[in-house]
Amino acid sequence: MKRGIVPGTFDPITSGHLDIIERAAGLLDEIVVGVALSAEKGGGPLFSARERIAFIEAATKHLSNVSVKGFDTLLVNFADEVGALVIIKGLRAMTDFEREFQMAALNWRLDSKVETMFIMAIPEYMFLSSSAVKEIARHGGSVKGLVPDVVSEALPHKLSEAR
Ligand code: ADP
């Protein structure tokens, strides 16, 4: 049984994240999407961990080998906890590479049994990020197609609450 984890903050999940999860689910037997609580990242996430997990569950319900779990530990410890030997990350433009390369090296140093694999973002989603989505929505732009429908429906409400 080959199990992998797809970790991230997913604040919120985008179509780019979903594409990586779908492709990873086609390559391995089981995928656990790991939602980092990331309480401190950039002033704290917009959506609570519970909301971020619920969005991913709704967006991946067509994938029978995908489950979603929150974590607040070292990534290699989370991998160990769920019995995964592979970390799968999406890779966008060059800016991701530097950071991902460093994280992969550190994770290898912490636990060399856990492999990191990268899946290239498709050109359409190469420039898509959770922060760009929030910025577009904040200024009243449409994010339809950039995020799963559950997210595009929830975003305006959440942003008006947060104001
Ligand atoms: P972000 O980098 O947007 O804050 P996360 O921390 O949730 O998002 O990222 C989790 C993983 O998803 C990272 O490996 C990141 O490179 C990847 N990822 C994010 N957006 C995309 C995208 N549009 N296409 C492919 N991979 C992506």
Sheet holding 115-120, edge to edge: 66-71, 30-36, 3-8, 86-91, 115-120
CB 29 within 8 A of CB 1: yes
Q: How many other C-beta atoms can be found within 10 angstroms of the C-beta atom of residue 116?
A: 18
Say what the pTM is.
0.94
The tens place of each residue's pLDDT in the chain, 163 residues long, gives 999 999 999 999 999 999 999 999 999 999 999 999 977 766 789 999 999 999 999 999 999 999 999 999 999 999 999 999 999 999 998 778 899 999 999 999 999 999 999 999 999 999 999 999 999 999 999 999 999 999 999 999 898 887 7
Q: Are 69 and 103 in contact (CB under 8 A)?
A: no
Active site residue 92: yes
| Helix, strand counts (H, E) of the chain | 6, 5
With the most atoms of ligand 1 within 8 angstroms of its CB, the residue from 11, 13, 14, 17 to mutate is 17
Choose the residue to mutate in 35, 92, 101 for probing ligand 1, maximizing ligand atoms within 8 Å of C-beta: 92
Catalytic option among 3, 23, 69, 92? 92
Using CB atoms within 10 Å of the CB of residue 126, give its burial: 0 to 12 exposed, 13 to 18 middle, 19+ buried. middle
